[in-house]
Homo-oligomer: A and B are copies of this chain.
């Protein structure tokens, strides 16, 4: 049925929908676990930066990340604008975490 433009029967449509949903559920579980690991890494970075008195934000690193993710997205046929929005969404959460670490750690940059 992939690529078909005809109207599927209700049973065909339900079966096809269920198959896609199982794939989406597997992908979502992978995404959640990758995000959990990413926050473990950025948590460690936040603690390191606080101990080493390094500034929490690094605009040059962020610019390199954005450029790289846009390229990866383009190659994977994902909208590069969406990839950039996604990274911004994640980084907002990371900065929120870092600020709360900095608030707890003596000598950390504000």
Residue among A39, A48, A68 with most chain B CB within 10 A = A48
Q: Please give the residue numbers on chain A whose beta carbons come within 8 Å of chain B beta carbons, in ascending order.
A: 2, 4-8, 10, 12-13, 16-17, 20-21, 23-25, 27-39, 41-42, 44-45, 48-49, 51-54, 61, 65, 68-69, 72-73, 76-78, 82-83, 86-87, 89, 93
Q: How far is the CB of A73 from chain B (nearest CB, A)?
A: 6
* Residues of chain B within 8 A of A87, CB atoms compared: 28
Q: Is the interface of A mostly helix, strand, loop or mixed?
A: helix
For this complex, 26 residue pairs linking A to B, each with C-beta atoms less than 8 Å apart, are: A2-B44, A5-B51, A7-B53, A8-B51, A13-B54, A17-B48, A17-B49, A20-B41, A23-B37, A24-B38, A27-B34, A28-B68, A28-B87, A30-B30, A31-B31, A31-B38, A32-B73, A32-B78, A33-B72, A33-B76, A35-B83, A36-B73, A36-B77, A36-B78, A86-B89, A89-B89
